[in-house]
């Protein structure tokens, strides 16, 4: 029984690991659409419909042109271009990558002729080289997909009347995560530090850690105003109430697994016991309950 749980947990993580993006490319992208959701003022979110298109795209559309945050899987690039053209006649000038995974950087090469790509230093390093973890390999991306402006801690982009802060939060989802905050509109894009309403995926092999993620989300909550609109990496657009609920889940579940591990329980024993009932419903996304327990346990 316990060995079966372990196998199913690992299988689930393989299927939905960000390092296995190639499997998502077998979908019929012709049937997918992008839903445009207004966040506040001239800030929008593009959300894939009809299949897995990739992580949510943030958009700033205004007099200076267009800035986007992340750019989905590569086959969605034409649909990204079509969607943003409806928001502004201006040119796409900047692409901000929240981290290196292909469901957030897949459009880089297709769109970089028109825009400057900006990301944390580690995002560039990982896109430049082959990546490998326990579940698969991701080849180095072409030069056209590499960020040409990088930062270590933070930078500010003055664009469309906003002071856009791009800030690094280390060793959370990966080792190169950045969150973006639009000061005038009071909107934040958290990338995959925030999976709205579901357990998150944490890429342990490329610097991610469930406890680091939990700490970072707590720090982000402290830094953001209480009335901020929050764009998650995956899931519906949210707010601070939704982010705080997510953080409550992170704190409770990581503490639960840590405490049982400290008592000498193995991963298989903790998975067999399962999480408290209060958190079971969070397992309906990329990562199920068993996989989330494994990610926490292996973060210890």
> Which residues, listed in sequence order, are joined to residue 25 by a DSSP beta bridge?
none
Cα separation, 296 vs 300, whole angstroms: 7
Where do the structural domains in the chain lie, given as residue ranges? Answer: 21-241
DSSP secondary structure code for residue 129 in this structure:
S
Cα separation, 50 vs 31, whole angstroms: 6
- Residue 86 CB burial class (10 angstroms; 0-12, 13-18, ≥19): exposed
Q: Are 118 and 155 in contact (CB under 8 A)?
A: yes
> With respect to CATH, is domain 21-241 assigned 3.60.15.10?
yes
Q: Look up the pTM and report it.
A: 0.92
Tokens (6 digits) for 166: 């791009």
Q: What is the number of alpha carbons within 13 Å of residue 12 lying toward its C-beta?
A: 20
pLDDT tens digits in sequence order for the chain, 300 residues long: 333 333 333 434 433 433 345 567 778 899 999 999 999 999 999 999 999 999 999 999 999 999 999 999 999 999 999 999 999 999 999 999 999 999 999 999 999 998 999 999 999 999 999 997 655 788 999 999 999 999 999 999 999 999 999 999 999 999 999 999 999 999 999 999 999 999 999 999 999 999 999 999 999 999 999 999 999 999 999 999 999 999 999 999 999 999 999 999 999 999 999 999 999 999 999 899 999 999 999 999
């Amino acid at each position: 029984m316990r060995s079966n749980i372990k196998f199913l947990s690992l299988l689930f993580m393989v299927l939905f690991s960000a390092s296995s993006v190639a499997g998502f490319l077998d979908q019929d992208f012709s049937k997918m659409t992008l839903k445009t959701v207004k966040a506040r003022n001239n800030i929008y979110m593009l959300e894939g419909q009809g299949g897995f298109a990739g992580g949510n795209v943030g958009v700033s559309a205004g007099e200076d042109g267009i800035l986007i945050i992340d750019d989905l899987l590569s086959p969605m690039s034409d649909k990204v271009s079509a969607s943003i053209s409806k928001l502004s006649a201006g040119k796409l000038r900047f692409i901000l990558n929240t981290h290196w995974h292909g469901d957030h950087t897949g459009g880089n090469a297709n769109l970089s002729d028109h825009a400057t790509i900006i990301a944390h230093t580690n995002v560039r390093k990982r896109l430049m080289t082959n990546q490998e973890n326990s579940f698969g390999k991701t080849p180095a991306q072409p030069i056209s997909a590499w960020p040409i402006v990088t930062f270590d801690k933070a930078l500010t982009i003055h664009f469309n009347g906003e002071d856009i802060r791009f800030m690094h939060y280390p060793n959370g989802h990966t080792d190169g995560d950045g969150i973006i905050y639009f000061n005038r509109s009071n909107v934040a894009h958290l990338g995959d530090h925030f999976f709205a309403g579901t357990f998150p995926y944490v890429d342990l092999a490329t610097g991610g850690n469930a406890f680091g993620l939990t700490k970072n989300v707590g720090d982000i909550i402290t830094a953001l105003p209480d009335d901020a609109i929050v764009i998650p990496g995956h899931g519906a657009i949210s707010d601070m109430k939704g982010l705080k609920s997510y953080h409550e889940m992170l704190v409770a579940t990581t503490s639960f697994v840590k405490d049982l591990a400290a008592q000498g329980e193995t991963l298989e024993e903790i998975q067999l016991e399962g999480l408290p009932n209060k958190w079971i419903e969070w397992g309906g996304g990329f990562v199920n309950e068993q996989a989330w327990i494994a990610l926490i346990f292996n973060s210890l």
